[in-house]
Structure 1
Amino acid sequence: MKLTAAQPATRVVFLVLDGIGDGPGDGFDAVALARTPHLDRLRREGLVTAIRAHGTAVGLPSDSDIGNSEVGHNILGAGRVFPQGASSVETAIASGAIWQGCWREAVAKAQAGGTLHLLGLLSDGNVHAHERHLFAMLDRAAEEGLKRVRVHVLLDGRDVMDKTAHVHIERLEQHLAALRAKSGIDACIASGGGRMAITMDRYGADWPMVARGWQAHVLGQAPVAASAMAALEAARAATADLSDQYVPAFVVGDAQGQPCGTVNDGDAVILFNFRGDRAIEITRAFTEGASFTDFDRQRVPQVFFAGMMLYDGDAGIPANFLVAPAAVSDTVSECLADTGIRQFACAETQKFGHITYFWNGNKSGKFNEATETYLEIPSDRVPFDQRPWMKSAETADALLEAIADPGYTFVRANFAGGDMVGHTGKLEAAILAVESVDLAVGRLMQAAEAHKLCLVVTADHGNAEDMVERDGKGQPLNDAAGQPMGRTSHTRSLVPFIVRDYSGRQLRLADVAKPGLANAAATIVTLLGLQVPAHFEPSLVNVVG
């Protein structure tokens, strides 16, 4: 969709400070505790408002759902709200549509003598998966008379309160026991591990994670335990203060101590995660042939594989999926590409797919090779609290070069520190991460002023601004030792939206009811001096002179 000129234009730099929301301002708010002179100055000098980045504002089923980077960047780029993965799956289950198509093929495999394997994040966080969807599939499998089902669980600790994996395992075990008693189905947990230890890598950052998952889920090569709960308890006993997300891989043994659920020829595998970024690599391991070289799979069983959703539309990953995703076209960057505007997008590995793939409406390629430049800065492969500054400086370096090039009219970037370090639950590390981002913002403010650009700063969701678990009254919770329980998940905080125009134009905030991330695209277009498309939510600013 080609855009037309509307009013005086300038170049725009759009920064997503990932996971840096507006917090309570207390002793667990890493954003408030950090020294942020540049962001403070930006708030004093620019137009400032707070916008929604969770729940229905980003297409999730309810306002109790926390936002996340995938949906946040989807909505930032799309300019309007559309149903996200969780909503689409809920609708498909309610209508029964999910039990048609690929589900029928998986059932046929299992009915022909194979095993149905259900692999995914065991969580009710509703960010990558929801255990409710797993339970629905287990119930349906029993109703359809399947004889053998194996569940491969990935423990969360990021999208839900940390150290609660035992609650989710117990809930699943109870559900499986009830199914066995009712229908006689042979259904049990076969393998598992923490989501940041196995299987759920993204963007090729740590393929050995996926290899460890493959070895546990498919080959049965991991320490054997009598049950998933026994494996979790052993891991916690071996490592003090172990986060659920880092529980080592395990396999559940049968009565003879042998793996009870390896994946074999003739089986069916369903990956029930609906979010794509951390599903693509394990999907490729199951579905690609001899061209796959990212790790030695040792044995590649011939199975029917399906994802919960289509994870990469451009690459067609996977070929089979249970629920079709919403089609997103005419995103802000697609419109700008159609208009011939040169764009630059940059982030380190951990968020590169967000500022490109998700921003572009779940499309992995460029809209216009001639006018778009994407730059990925390799992330460090160490725990994020050990290098909390991450690649803030390097990202700023790249942006400074893009700003200095007058050919780039729209420049966008993601700074990962607030989110990735926030997920560690380590308050001091999160403070350093925020301060590192602030230093980068300060450098970019100087460049924006020198080149007379418009600078926009926001976030895709909250995280670092609330680093402690709280009770229903908002008071910090303590663990058994009386220490505050570090929060490792996202929040439902509002996020800042700051506009500082160094071009000399006069701007004012627009009167927008319940502003959210969806208003960002129209704001970008307005600041670029272009006519806002009718399908975008309204701009948060007006140019008045």
Structure 2
Amino acid sequence: MNPGLLIIVDGWGHRDGTEGNAFRLAATPFIDDFPKRGPWTLLQASGEAVGLPGGVVGNSEIGHLTIGAGRVIEYESTRIQRAGESGELRSHPLLRPSLERVRRRGGALHLIGLCSDGMVHADISHFRLLLEVARDSSIERVFLHPFTDGRDVPDGSAGKYLAELEAMAARSGRGRVASVVGRSYAMDRSGAWDRTQSAFAAIVRGEGPRVGRPSEALEAGRNAGLRDELIPPAVVTGDDGRPLGRMSPGDLALFVNFRGDRMRQLVEAVAHPDFSRFDRGPLPGLEVQTLTEYFLDPPVPALFAQADSSDGLADLLESRGVHNVRIAESEKFQHVTFFFNGRDNRSRLTEEDVHVPSRKVDYRLAPEMSGVAVAEQTIRALGAADAGLVLVNLANPDVVGHTGDLDAVCRAVETADACLRRMCEAAWQAGRWTAIVGDHGNAEEMVDAATGKPNVGHTANPVPFLLAGPGLDVRLRPDGSLADVAPTVSDLLGLDRSPRMEGEGLIRRSVLVSRDPQA
């Protein structure tokens, strides 16, 4: 066993230009000097290389999933789009009878989800597909509950997407916007249940600030200086002043995000029979479904099962009895555990998870986040002789990158650089190899070239892969992807790869020499 350290730097893409590139503008002496210690290469982390449609940017979920699986996993958004275009969605064995029950009862269909084409958590075109299914199923009453974005797409674009959604409804002859909720309320995953409660009240009960038109919610937010993601929940009323889309017995609530980690709190509040996080009052008898599996307990019926991503690096480590440690702060903890493990929640005897709490602050004011604490926990784990692999996520470049504040992102990158130095030097002192990789682009392109405005979303740029270790001289392939990371880590550990790892090892040649990466 050749023990090692794998660090995933979230939101680290590669771009040559300097303007808006936090990794070029920030002081990053350790990253800048790394080529003197070992080789580096660039990996594809978007589009077809990670199971997404061509040209679609990568994200943290698919990045960690692909890194862990060692092969390309077809993403759910692609499967849903194909099912809609082929007609499979109209005859879906779960959705079709549910819609028939709604039609017979005179109930309503509620479509709930993120309203943008960022393709990280959702795709607005899935609203269109479901509106068309509702029309073909003779569902007369359809209500839309969009979440404003501003993270996966530029801030200030919510009005454009809301207008696009209303145009889809007009073309299908079905659907009215019944509530408008910022994603920070509807898609919280940090345990801020007060935000989830506000979203629940507006969407399910029709309670909260009222507006006569959906656009009024956006106008109020802009007047208050709020970003799109922070638009407070608002209830749209009809001409009589009453909420348009308060949920009633016999209605079907369908959550349309294809990524579930940021939907679990809200769906749990709507569907869990013994929910106790807040007083939700008397619940209408609803049918509740999700577009894909959200991995809730008890489970909620899903239209599409998640693609099989088992037999990756986590399963290999377990089968070989390799003790491994996973370390991340709250913002990315699920990524180094659940997603890296092939969306498998079960506990493993060989896996030790170290959860570092994220700070509940405005990250523009504290871009360091919990990076120093993550580094300290990593250094502690590296001192354990039985830890064959230590896996770490540094969240700063991605999470702060979503704020669009370039100065803050530069400070976040500088924090990441300092943490990388501490962790790598500790690994090398312990005789371990170290691999560093990005999972998708973000902080390297903080300015939209077309508009000159802040870019708060991910990018399609390739990501760096760096490798060094005591006594290890390597050359790396120049044409890899994230699917090649797990096979490479398997090789470095001295383990036979899983047969289902379809990626290729990145190492061209490995020779033991007296080279010292700390020299």
Q: Distance in 1 between matches of 2:35 and 2:198?
A: 46
Which of the residues 505, 508, 513 maps onto 1:539?
505
Question: Is the 1:49–1:496 contact (alpha carbons within 8 Å) kept by the matching residues of 2?
Answer: yes
Partner residue, 1:362? 343
Which secondary structure state, in structure 2, belongs to the residue aligned with residue 384 of structure 1?
Answer: coil
Partner residue, 1:158? 151
> When the two structures are aligned, how many residues end up with a matched partner?
508
Question: Is the 1:29–1:465 contact (alpha carbons within 8 Å) kept by the matching residues of 2?
Answer: yes
- Letter paired with 1:125: G
Using the TM superposition, give the Cα deviation of residue 46 of structure 1 relative to its aligned residue in structure 2, in angstroms.
1.2
Which secondary structure state, in structure 2, belongs to the residue aligned with residue 506 of structure 1?
Answer: strand
Which of the residues 435, 444, 458 maps onto 1:490?
458
1:446-465 superposed matches below 5 A:
446-465=425-444
Partner residue, 2:195? 209
1:132-147 superposed matches below 5 A:
132-147=125-140
Which secondary structure state, in structure 2, belongs to the residue aligned with residue 135 of structure 1?
Answer: helix
- Letter paired with 2:287: F
1:90-489 superposed matches below 5 A:
90-99=81-90, 100-111=92-103, 112-180=105-173, 185=174, 187-196=175-184, 198-202=185-189, 204-239=190-225, 242-290=226-274, 292-312=275-295, 315=296, 318-366=299-347, 368-369=348-349, 371-471=350-450, 477-478=451-452, 485-489=453-457
Question: Is the 1:24–1:466 contact (alpha carbons within 8 Å) kept by the matching residues of 2?
Answer: no
Which of the residues 3, 6, 9 maps onto 1:17?
9
Question: Is the 2:127–2:165 contact (alpha carbons within 8 Å) kept by the matching residues of 1?
Answer: no
Partner residue, 1:29? 21
Alpha-carbon spacing, 1:338–1:149, altered in 2? closer, same or farther (3 Å):
same
- Letter paired with 1:221: E
Q: Deviations over 1:478-511 (max 9, x none)?
A: 4xxxxxx111101111111000112x133222x4
Question: Is the 1:115–1:267 contact (alpha carbons within 8 Å) kept by the matching residues of 2?
Answer: yes
Partner residue, 2:517? none
Q: Distance in 1 between matches of 2:495 and 2:475?
A: 17
Moved more, 139-148 or 337-346: 139-148
Which secondary structure state, in structure 1, belongs to the residue aligned with residue 241 of structure 2?
Answer: coil
Residue ranges of structure 2 left out of the alignment (5+ in a row): 513-519
Question: Is the 1:527–1:543 contact (alpha carbons within 8 Å) kept by the matching residues of 2?
Answer: no
Using the TM superposition, give the Cα deviation of residue 200 of structure 1 relative to its aligned residue in structure 2, in angstroms.
0.3
Matched, 1:85 2:51: no
Q: Distance in 2 between matches of 1:106 and 1:211?
A: 27
Q: Distance in 1 between matches of 2:354 and 2:95?
A: 39
Which secondary structure state, in structure 2, belongs to the residue aligned with residue 266 of structure 1?
Answer: coil
Question: Is the 1:106–1:116 contact (alpha carbons within 8 Å) kept by the matching residues of 2?
Answer: no
Overall identity of the aligned pairs, in %: 34
Using the TM superposition, give the Cα deviation of residue 266 of structure 1 relative to its aligned residue in structure 2, in angstroms.
1.4
Q: Distance in 2 between matches of 1:329 and 1:316?
A: 20
Question: Is the 1:109–1:304 contact (alpha carbons within 8 Å) kept by the matching residues of 2?
Answer: no
Q: Distance in 2 between matches of 1:425 and 1:515?
A: 29
Which secondary structure state, in structure 1, belongs to the residue aligned with residue 467 of structure 2?
Answer: strand
- Letter paired with 2:188: D
Question: Is the 1:351–1:416 contact (alpha carbons within 8 Å) kept by the matching residues of 2?
Answer: yes
Partner residue, 1:4? none
Q: Distance in 1 between matches of 2:176 and 2:4?
A: 54
Question: Is the 1:310–1:317 contact (alpha carbons within 8 Å) kept by the matching residues of 2?
Answer: no
Q: Deviations over 1:446-485 (max 9, x none)?
A: 21121010001011101111111122xxxxx24xxxxxx1
Which of the residues 10, 14, 35 maps onto 1:43?
35
Moved more, 356-365 or 206-215: 206-215
Which secondary structure state, in structure 1, belongs to the residue aligned with residue 131 of structure 2?
Answer: helix
Q: Distance in 2 between matches of 1:437 and 1:492?
A: 21
- Letter paired with 1:188: R
Which secondary structure state, in structure 2, belongs to the residue aligned with residue 457 of structure 1?
Answer: strand
Which secondary structure state, in structure 2, belongs to the residue aligned with residue 413 of structure 1?
Answer: strand
Q: Distance in 2 between matches of 1:266 and 1:534?
A: 48
Question: Is the 2:272–2:298 contact (alpha carbons within 8 Å) kept by the matching residues of 1?
Answer: no
Using the TM superposition, give the Cα deviation of residue 164 of structure 1 relative to its aligned residue in structure 2, in angstroms.
1.0
Partner residue, 2:493? 528
Using the TM superposition, give the Cα deviation of residue 134 of structure 1 relative to its aligned residue in structure 2, in angstroms.
0.5
Residue ranges of structure 1 left out of the alignment (5+ in a row): 1-8, 472-476, 479-484
Which secondary structure state, in structure 2, belongs to the residue aligned with residue 97 of structure 1?
Answer: coil
Question: Is the 2:11–2:439 contact (alpha carbons within 8 Å) kept by the matching residues of 1?
Answer: yes
Which secondary structure state, in structure 1, belongs to the residue aligned with residue 168 of structure 2?
Answer: helix
Q: Distance in 2 between matches of 1:178 and 1:78?
A: 41
Q: Distance in 1 between matches of 2:247 and 2:158?
A: 24
Structure 1 length as normaliser, TM-score? 0.91
Two-structure CA RMSD over aligned residues (Å)? 1.5
Which of the residues 36, 49, 62 maps onto 1:71?
62
Partner residue, 1:507? 474
Q: Distance in 2 between matches of 1:169 and 1:506?
A: 54
Using the TM superposition, give the Cα deviation of residue 209 of structure 1 relative to its aligned residue in structure 2, in angstroms.
2.1
Question: Is the 1:30–1:467 contact (alpha carbons within 8 Å) kept by the matching residues of 2?
Answer: yes
Question: Is the 2:473–2:510 contact (alpha carbons within 8 Å) kept by the matching residues of 1?
Answer: yes
Question: Is the 1:306–1:318 contact (alpha carbons within 8 Å) kept by the matching residues of 2?
Answer: no
Using the TM superposition, give the Cα deviation of residue 337 of structure 1 relative to its aligned residue in structure 2, in angstroms.
0.7
Which secondary structure state, in structure 1, belongs to the residue aligned with residue 186 of structure 2?
Answer: coil
Q: Deviations over 1:188-225 (max 9, x none)?
A: 000012112x11012x4422221111011011122111
Partner residue, 1:481? none
Which secondary structure state, in structure 1, belongs to the residue aligned with residue 178 of structure 2?
Answer: strand
Using the TM superposition, give the Cα deviation of residue 317 of structure 1 relative to its aligned residue in structure 2, in angstroms.
6.2
Q: Distance in 1 between matches of 2:20 and 2:401?
A: 11
Deviant stretches of 4+, over 4 Å: none
Q: Distance in 1 between matches of 2:342 and 2:487?
A: 16
Using the TM superposition, give the Cα deviation of residue 234 of structure 1 relative to its aligned residue in structure 2, in angstroms.
2.3
Using the TM superposition, give the Cα deviation of residue 316 of structure 1 relative to its aligned residue in structure 2, in angstroms.
5.5
Partner residue, 2:45? 53
Q: Distance in 1 between matches of 2:299 and 2:116?
A: 23
Q: Deviations over 1:329-366 (max 9, x none)?
A: 11101111110000100100010000100001111123
Partner residue, 2:515? none
Q: Distance in 2 between matches of 1:505 and 1:45?
A: 10
Structure 2 length as normaliser, TM-score? 0.95
